Amino acid sequence: MKYYAPENAHFLLPFQFDPTLLENDLKKCSTFNFLKNYVPANYNGDDYILPLRSIDGRLDLPAAFPNSSEKFKNTTALEKCPYFKEVIDSFLCEKDAIRLMNLPSGRVINEHVDYNCGYEDGLFRVHIPIITNDQVRFTLNGIPLTMRPGEAWYTNVNLPHSVTNTGSTNRVHLVLDCIRNKWSDKLFASVGFDFTQEIEVVEQYTESTKKRMIEELELQGTPASKKLIIQLKQGTS
């Protein structure tokens, strides 16, 4: 298993995108249906995820499938959004899932952990706020993060995280799962990622964490996810 150093948990990346152009493309997605979250224990709500890039370009797959061997393609929703595509192309690497993630006013995403989503795993998840408000609280590993429209944040969501939105507006982020490469290594070095912390450790997950990980992997139904499920049930890595 990987060791996820707290000092490498999050970074504000050196990008600033145009909030107005982001909102314009978001409006173009209003004709598509946002999907219900696929892990109700984390967030049991409708209108949560719109896939922009997914396995086979399907609009009915809300899950991200990080580091999957499956073929990811742009969805018809992304094809209507030229500025989103420009933003995505700013990251000079391959991408897996790309999604719009909506948290309505008054809703909460319970604390949970994801799997295989850290830079140490060869993947980095980037959050780009489109619509937000001062009452949104994104807490990662006990630290609240303030994300402003147009910024780009790396977050290691293998660590415990939660989101609350007590404001009067929805919170919508463009979320990219990017594949690590030499370009991204330079990018992360520039913001202070400590590469000396990348070590293998023997890690024991709690039973509740294992259960949630298995639930998410079962939704993928891929050969790789089935193998990971067996490993988790056997307590191996």
pLDDT at 202: 46
The residue segments making up the domain with residue 30 are: 6-199
Label residue 196 exposed, middle or buried (CB < 10 Å: 0-12, 13-18, 19+). exposed
For each of the chain's 237 residues, which pLDDT tens digit applies?
577 889 999 999 999 999 999 999 999 999 999 998 878 788 878 888 999 999 999 999 888 777 666 789 999 999 999 999 999 999 999 999 999 999 999 999 999 888 888 999 999 999 999 999 999 999 999 999 999 999 999 999 999 999 999 999 999 999 999 999 999 999 999 999 999 988 764 455 667 777 777 777 776 666 666 777 776 776 654
* Residue 27 domain-assigned (yes or no): yes
* Residue 52 domain-assigned (yes or no): yes
* Residue 174 domain-assigned (yes or no): yes
Six token digits for residue 31: 């004709």
* Residue 212 domain-assigned (yes or no): no
**Number of domains into which the chain is organized:** 1
* Residue 233 domain-assigned (yes or no): no
Six token digits for residue 213: 């990980």
CA trace torsion 136, 115, 214, 43 (10° rounding)? 10
Distinct helix (H) and strand (E) counts, the chain: 6, 11
| Locus of tokens 């990980």 | 213
Could you tell me the CATH number of the domain that includes residue 135?
Answer: 2.60.120.330
Phi, psi of 132 (to 5 degrees): -155, -175
* Residue 88 domain-assigned (yes or no): yes
